[in-house]
Amino acid sequence: MPVVRSVSPQRPKDIVVSIDAATNDGVALAAQAARSAQADWAAAPPANRANALHAAAEAVAGAAAELADLAVREVGKPIAEARGEVARTVAILRYYAQQVFDPTGAVHEPGAGVGIAYTRRRPRGIAGLVTPWNFPFAIPLWKAAPALAFGNAVLLKPAPQATACALRLAELIGPQLPRGLFTVLPGDAETGQAVVAAADVVSFTGSTTAGAAVAAAATARGVPVQCEMGGQNPAIVLPDADVAVVARQVAYAAFGYAGQKCTATKRVIVVGDPTALTDALVAEVEKLPCGDPAEPDTVVGPVIDDAARARVLDAAVSAVSAGATSATAGRCRPATAGTRCRRWSPACPRAICCTMRRSSGRSAR
């Protein structure tokens, strides 16, 4: 049986969790239990669902410090960001606990002026959720909380690198809900495919390649599907911008959490001469604290795994080969002596500042 093994990115010898992956049969059993629980959950008074979600929020809030530490350990998220994510997760649960009382339909003026026309939204059944590692608490709950609030059951397949975080969420939230209503199914791509195949509605956040496959599989079954596969996030700097403010904000937006966010700034497009901003940005990047994500001042921690490390190096080499001029010197900082480096200083190839000639003029990025 395949095993899911999650290791700490800053200390790769630290195995955070090792657990059997959910098999196709295991997913089928979870789906059967979810479907059984969902019917009564959907029929329950809204106040019952609200109370359960409020209880879930209190359970997560009570474990906030533990969860933040777990995110630091398992996915290398800087502690300040980890604490913020846990707080946001609690807020998400509380928000949807109240939204269950919102109208579930609308009355419309009939076209012929006779009778009554109305719409009513109903739960789909089982929501199959496939989530990434970089926001191991907030993104699963962004998806699960509204699904649960409006009467659905949830099957959650987390990224393997965030398995421990998802399992701990289930331990906290599961007891507040009917048995079988919220199930975490650790595994790889095969497990994710089984979850998508079992679901009545699908929500995915992750890579473009995986998202395209999820969308195709759900569409082939006629199942509603939502896929979020990253962003380009350019920062456009106009001539009257305050260069110092822009440089400070872009440095953090691009390189905080080692740039491992779909919302990270990917490009900076400067209208006019980019020299002043390039110089200011280099200075701000080099000031970003890089180190152990458990330290309160750390902004740039480790990349998640060796595959990410390889992409960082390849991106730097490719940029220079394409004509970029490196404005900073990358430095690798191993967490411990003798370990393979995953912790780059803010002046690393991932955080490269360069100028390149574009057909439309010059830009700093």
Catalytic residues: 228, 262
Q: What is the DSSP string of 42-101?
A: HHS-HHHHHHHHHHHHHHHHHTHHHHHHHHHHHH---HHHHHHHHHHHHHHHHHHHHHTT
E strands, the chain, are 3-7, 15-20, 105-108, 117-120, 126-131, 153-158, 182-184, 201-205, 225-228, 234-237, 267-270, 355-358, 361-364
Per residue in 207-230, is it b (16+ CB within 10 Å) or e — as a string?
Answer: eeebbebbbebbeeeebebebebb
Look up residue 148 and give its two tokens.
Answer: 């649960």
Q: Is 90 exposed, middle or buried (0-12, 13-18, 19+ CB in 10 A)?
A: buried
Look up residue 224 and give its two tokens.
Answer: 């509603």
Coil, strand or helix at 209: helix
Phi, psi of 118 (to 5 degrees): -150, 160
Does an H or E element contain 248, and which?
helix 243-255
Check: CB of residue 201 under 8 Å from CB of residue 128: yes
